[in-house]
Amino acid sequence: MLMGSFFKRSGDKDKPREWQYYKSVPFTRLWSLYAAVFCLFAITGFFGDMLNLGHIPYVVVILNAVCSGFTALMYVHIGTRLRRRFFIYATLLQIPLWLGFSVTVSFLISHFHLQPVSTPSGIRFAGVVMLLLVIVSYSLFIRFLRGEGQESFRIRNELELAHGIQTTLVPPISLRTTQFELYGRSDPSDKVGGDLVDAVLLDDGSTVAYLADVAGHGLQAGILMGMVKTAARTSLLDACSTEPSTVLPSLMERLNRVLPDVKEPQMYATFAGFLLNPDGNVFYALAAHPPILHYHLQANEQCLKQISTEEFPLGLLPVTDFSSEVVNMASGDLLIAVTDGILEVCNQTEEEFGLDRLEDIVAHHSMDSLQTMADVILNAARSFGKQTDIRRFC
């Protein structure tokens, strides 16, 4: 019996910040937001005139409104394009800005002999302009929100389509051979992810079961995941003509040669593969994968052994010395493979789930069906801490 459960957790460092998102948004989508903010905060210039009973000269009122609007634009630009520390610089810049404004106003009043405006005219002027600015800013905000809504709707449709494609590429696996039973499914937290669980029946009666865990998430990881599955299945077409001990190393070597040309430099894939022979022998191979748990009964006592190998992930370095090993299995034995995501899930006290908890679950549910054990492992991880990307293969 062969069983594995695979999970992955994306760290907080992978989450994009708001300024990173808006930094990638073209200005053609942001200009209405900028204009709306300018109009909204330009109102403060006319509001200040009303507090002075409308006596401030029209030129000074308009100049004050323009300065207020551009000050607001400066903060919006920092919030959408620059790093947060620039808020401090902008705040310090307010001192010379408004000192310069005061000097400019004094110069205009003395040089052009600007006279105070009568209260009725000044209040009427400020009130009308404030109303117009409110209407204009409201219209611009609506335009911005409508554009972002259309963009969000478009992205959602694309994600739904991509999710359907991923469901087709990574269907649930429920397979029984003469010697082994396998169960697996992919449960990505996002619509699209890099989760790949697959099992391939070879012409000689053996089975290759593997998990490829593409680093990252979203469309980019999903696309690379599809490439990995295509390359893996193509490589396995002639696997039955090779020695069993070389099937998995050959597969890993080919994937490692193909991936660098079809991915971003920082992306890679971890790998855990098993070759199940009809005679009951099991070959395994790992690439940057956590230890496999081998559960078996020995003298009527439950035993759990950790099996691990040190290999580089696929697609990262031009290495060729991949290898596979044989694990001796008896009837009723289990092989449980888990990605580091479930092991690194942390609770509120930053305590990790760890291999010990996984071993306890396996020991208590070793007689359950593969699907039941996989569900218990998944539910235990979810209740222990938040998971952001999950894969399972049994």
Can you list the domains of the chain with their CATH numbers?
Answer: 18-160 (no CATH), 172-393 (3.60.40.10)
Distance in angstroms (rounded) separating the CA atoms of residues 149 and 143:
10
Question: According to the model, what pLDDT value does residue 192 have?
Answer: 66
Q: Please compute the mean of the pLDDT values over residues 279-291 and round it to a whole number.
A: 89
The answer to whether 378 touches 187, Cβ cutoff 8 Å, is yes
For 332, the 3-state DSSP assignment is coil
- pLDDT band for position 387 (50/70/90)? low
Q: What is the pLDDT of residues 79-104, one digit of tens each?
A: 888 888 888 888 888 888 888 888 88
What's the pLDDT at 142?
Answer: 94
Q: Mean pLDDT for the chain?
A: 84
> What is the per-residue pLDDT across 104-117, written as a single tens digit (0 to 9) for each?
888 888 888 888 89
Res 14 pLDDT > 70: no
Does residue 70 register a pLDDT over 70?
A: yes
| Sheet containing strand 207-217, strands side by side | 193-201, 207-217, 269-276, 282-287, 325-327
Judge whether 290 and 213 are in contact, CB under 8 Å.
Answer: no
Is pTM beyond 0.85 here? no
Residue 229 pLDDT greater than 50, yes or no? yes
Question: For position 65, what pLDDT does the model report?
Answer: 94
pLDDT digits (tens, 9 = 90+) for 55-67: 999 999 999 999 9
Is there a contact between 169 and 225 (Cβ–Cβ < 8 Å)?
Answer: yes
Alpha-carbon distance of 139 to 36, in angstroms, equals 8
pLDDT given at position 133: 95
Tokens of 83: 């790093």
